[in-house]
Structure 1
Amino acid sequence: MSRLQPPQHSSEVKVAFPAEHVLLLTFNRPKQLNAMTPRMSEDLKVLLDWFEDEPDLWVVIVTGEGRIFCAGADLKAWNNDQQSGITREQENVAANVHGFGSISRRQSNKPIIAAVVGGAYGGGMEMLLNCDLVIASDDAKFALPEVKRGVVAIQGGIPRLASTAGHQLASEMLLLGKTIDAADARNRFGFVNTVVPASEVISTALATAQQIVVNSPDAVQSTKHGLLLAQKLNFSESVLTHAWSPHSRQVYKGVNIKEGLKAFAEKRSPAWANPKL
């Protein structure tokens, strides 16, 4: 994987390739609790757009350096803008099609795994809510405290939490600005898949990614596309749109379906090819 050359980016995001077909992105402002800056957000956009187009990368893990995944927006900088009369929040939300950190509203057909140590707040929470799988440390805390600061979780967190937890539980976090622990995030609210000790978060996320990449990338990406359609369309529309999509065509007309069925008949592990949409 070392042959892959990611696009240029600042030191606010670290890039690694911990396993074949797996990209690891690490928010790298630990002293600031990985609070999002415009520079970090732009780095993430460039790197994730590259990930989307790189056929040899099938899964991305996002995590944070230090003791917390992401504390959300840089409120000090936001305060300076407000006090100076610079108010472009509505325009910025509309223009930023991928949402907070280029993740909270990103519609990727490739799986995104959040590896959360310590917890996530505000925009950091909105990002992980849009990830497909969330691995959290057992000491992690989660909150959408925007209402306590006079702002709103407007970058996708409201509909994503409501669809995952239901109206009443979502209201508990959103209207109270309540902080919950990892056990509640998994057992009551349902947006965390696995809770492990902090020292095991990255290894567990990597093991989860490797469970994905043993499957056909064509089938995985088509399935992810189907999940995205299910968020937007009714049942029949979702099924038919998925069936006629380029992703389904790639599955049923591509080489990996032949390889998967042949490997099954021959009682061996399949050797998947990179997708070619």
Structure 2
Amino acid sequence: MAVIETETRGHIFIITLNRPESRNAIDGAMAAGIEAALDTFENNDDLRAGVIAANGPVFCAGADLKAISSGAGRDLSTERGGFGGIVRRERRKPLIAAPAGPALAGGCEIVLACDLIVAGEAARFGVPEVKRSLVPAAGGLFRLPRAVGMAAGMELLLTGDPIEAVRAYELGLVNRVVPTTDVREAALALAGRIAANAPLAVQAARGIAARSVTDDDATLWRDSTQAIRDLAKTEDFREGPRAFVEKREPVWKGR
């Protein structure tokens, strides 16, 4: 049985965690599988947006403690992607997390590594590491306060207590909350709205926006100006206005 399943729907790529009997806890095979799936996603110019979902009632419970206790803990990370093959991965394309159930510890950090989140009503988010004399070192220590604000972020990090999906939405962590059975399709619908846009423009916008909380304004102004200059050299830059004038849907080529 493949621990990572992939599927293509038009311009959308779906990555599914498939160890439901282990609450989709990350082991070496899953980390390698996620990295390989992201390679496929990033290297195929026809794929414009991605969704990462999971089979079973739990999105991801974090690291597989059995793997760690057996001495295989280092295999839970990859050289390029870090934990789960994803949390430190450099990406160009937007990725939507679609947790229908709990995303805890490293599972929460995988969600935080994505660009948008569509959550089911049964989803919960938390980093309980301090309850076991650990810290969420796969990005949670800084991505969580950035996502929900310092006050709420500190509370989550220092208590280790999880929050429900609706509270995550209120804090701005989650884009939308939907019935649990509708999570995947709602995420695909959002991905479809993104994939309908000019892919190079989407990638440029994502890349700069992702650095908006880390880079200074001078750098962001410079890179924004360079982005529009680069786009002006592409076929898609000419196709957008042409399609508008001709009153038709644009045909993007990604070049």
Give me the TM-score of the superposition, normalised by structure 1. 0.86
Cα displacement string for residues 181-231 of structure 1 (whole angstroms, at most 9, x for unaligned residues) = 00111103x211110111110110010011011111111011011113324
Matches within 5 A, 1:18-33: 19-33=9-23
State the one-letter code of the partner of 1:11.
A
Quote the residue 2:239 is aligned against. Answer: 259
Against the structure 1 CA distance between its residues 149 and 114, is the aligned structure 2 distance closer, same or farther, given a 3 Å change threshold?
Answer: same
- Are 1:112 and 1:132, in contact at CA under 8 Å, matched by a contact in 2? yes
2-side partners of 1:249 and 1:225: how far apart? 15
1-side partners of 2:84 and 2:63: how far apart? 9
2-side partners of 1:99 and 1:134: how far apart? 20
2-side partners of 1:229 and 1:167: how far apart? 18
Identity score, percent: 37
2-side partners of 1:51 and 1:63: how far apart? 15
For the residue of structure 2 that corresponds to 1:223, the secondary structure is helix
State the one-letter code of the partner of 1:113.
I
2-side partners of 1:14 and 1:78: how far apart? 24
Matches within 5 A, 1:241-260: 241-244=223-226, 248-260=228-240
User: How far is the alpha carbon of 1:179 from its aligned partner?
Assistant: 1.2
For the residue of structure 1 that corresponds to 2:232, the secondary structure is helix
2-side partners of 1:113 and 1:130: how far apart? 10
Structure 1 range deviating more: 167-176 or 26-35: 167-176
Against the structure 1 CA distance between its residues 87 and 262, is the aligned structure 2 distance closer, same or farther, given a 3 Å change threshold?
Answer: closer
Match of 1:184 among 155, 167, 172: 167
**Gaps (5+ residues) in structure 2?**
none
Matches within 5 A, 1:147-186: 147-186=130-169
C-alpha RMSD over aligned residues: 1.9
**Gaps (5+ residues) in structure 1?**
1-9
2-side partners of 1:88 and 1:182: how far apart? 31
2-side partners of 1:178 and 1:272: how far apart? 45
User: How far is the alpha carbon of 1:176 from its aligned partner?
Assistant: 0.6
Cα displacement string for residues 142-174 of structure 1 (whole angstroms, at most 9, x for unaligned residues) = 110111122210011111111111222111111
